[in-house]
């Protein structure tokens, strides 16, 4: 069972030693998966703990202030994805002013060595960390020779088109509606996983009841109306149409994912659903009144049904624990 920890300081979590992979891991794209695959394989071979070490919020969100950059994954989905890749421990360290001010040297001593008893550290080629991003691969290798761990930097992973795989490139693809490109960089279709919350139930009154999912402090990586596939309701993969936006017709403000699931009736409040984005139908628009909105929703639903005529097989999942250590 995968364990989660949030605090950079505390008792050692890996008395036998660990192999630690460090990164943002936003989206868990092909590059992240290659790095984590190496780390997990090394940990299994050596009988050590496999650790994925990241931050929540991500540093770029913390420093982004009122205008944080878009996120590919919500925190729990990121944890579950790391667990599914075989990590025994997942660190989503609370990134706050205290952690932001920690020197790279202290981070190595207190977190990598003291908290995780690292024997090997795996990072990407451009990895930087610590106050002022002063730490890099060279510092890790120098300190590792003194403190008893080895640092590995994995080469850049490229996609079929020969260009670099990166979270920023995936965000750009999603923003442009290029879902196929985003999927090729991720190694799977792009999806959002979150718990269903109560909304204003306006969709039900309009003939389109929706499952609503919020994003908390995270900014979505894409906006608009999409044909989607829905997982998390039994074993079935269901078809639907979803709007991700701020709902200008009803004066919405926070980002909300509203999914109408075709030919389904039931209570989904509190259930975790995964919404896979298959095709973009249009941008979010403002309509003069509710009848005009409903007419467009009818057109969106008909188009989504055409696109989603052949649903794929259900994915394989691995159980994980969300309780912090």
Asked if the model's pLDDT at residue 181 lies above 70, the reply is yes
> pLDDT value at position 312?
59
List pLDDT tens digits, range 4-30.
Answer: 999 999 999 999 999 999 999 999 999
CA 81/CA 132 separation, integer angstroms: 29
CA atoms within 13 A on the CB side of 179: 16
Asked if the model's pLDDT at residue 216 lies above 90, the reply is no
Give the 3-state secondary structure percentages of the chain, helix then strand then coil, rounded to 5. Answer: 30, 25, 40
> pLDDT value at position 318?
43
CA 223/CA 245 separation, integer angstroms: 6
What percent of the chain lies above the pLDDT cut of 90? 76
* Mean of per-residue pLDDT scores for the chain: 90
Backbone angles phi, psi at 259, to 5 degrees: -115, 120
Please state the CATH superfamily assignment of the domain spanning residues 3-153 in this structure.
Answer: HUPs (3.40.50.620)
CATH of domain 190-307: 2.40.30.30
Asked if the model's pLDDT at residue 160 lies above 80, the reply is no
Asked if the model's pLDDT at residue 249 lies above 50, the reply is no
> pLDDT value at position 315?
46
Considering the chain, tell me which residue range(s) the CATH 2.40.30.30 domain(s) occupy. 190-307
Asked if the model's pLDDT at residue 164 lies above 60, the reply is yes
Report CA 146 to chain centroid distance, whole Å.
Answer: 35
List pLDDT tens digits, range 96-111.
Answer: 999 999 999 999 999 9
Asked if the model's pLDDT at residue 131 lies above 50, the reply is yes
> pLDDT value at position 310?
72
Backbone angles phi, psi at 240, to 5 degrees: -170, -175
Considering the chain, tell me which residue range(s) the CATH 3.40.50.620 domain(s) occupy. 3-153
CA 53/CA 70 separation, integer angstroms: 20
């Amino acid at each position: 069972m995968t364990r989660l920890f949030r605090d950079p300081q505390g008792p050692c979590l890996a008395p036998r030693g660990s192999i630690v992979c460090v990164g943002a891991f936003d989206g868990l794209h092909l590059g992240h998966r290659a790095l984590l695959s190496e780390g997990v394989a090394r940990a299994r071979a050596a009988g050590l703990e496999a650790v994925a070490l990241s931050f929540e919020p991500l540093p770029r969100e913390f420093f982004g202030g009122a205008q944080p950059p878009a996120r590919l994954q919500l925190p729990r989905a990121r944890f579950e994805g790391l667990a599914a890749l075989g990590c025994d421990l997942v660190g989503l360290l609370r990134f706050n002013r205290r952690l932001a001010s920690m020197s790279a040297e202290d981070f190595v001593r207190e977190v990598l060595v003291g908290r995780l008893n690292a024997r090997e550290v795996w990072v990407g080629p451009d990895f930087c960390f610590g106050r002022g991003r002063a730490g890099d691969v060279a510092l890790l290798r120098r300190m590792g020779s003194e403190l008893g761990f080895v640092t590995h930097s994995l080469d850049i992973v490229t996609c079929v088109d020969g260009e670099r795989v990166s979270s920023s490139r995936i965000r750009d693809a999603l923003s442009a509606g290029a879902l196929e490109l985003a999927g090729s960089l991720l190694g799977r279709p792009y999806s959002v996983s979150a718990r269903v919350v109560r909304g204003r139930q306006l969709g039900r009154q309009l003939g389109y009841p929706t499952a609503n999912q919020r994003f908390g402090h995270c900014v979505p990586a894409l906006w608009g109306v999409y044909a989607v596939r829905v997982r998390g309701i039994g074993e079935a993969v269901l078809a639907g149409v979803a709007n991700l936006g701020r709902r200008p017709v009803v004066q919405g403000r926070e980002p909300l994912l509203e999914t109408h699931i075709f030919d389904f009736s039931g209570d989904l409040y509190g259930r975790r659903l995964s919404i896979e984005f298959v095709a973009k139908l249009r941008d979010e628009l403002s309509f003069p009144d509710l009848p005009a909105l409903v007419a467009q929703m009818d057109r969106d639903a008909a188009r989504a049904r055409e696109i989603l005529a052949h649903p794929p097989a259900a994915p394989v999942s691995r159980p994980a624990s969300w309780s912090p250590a």
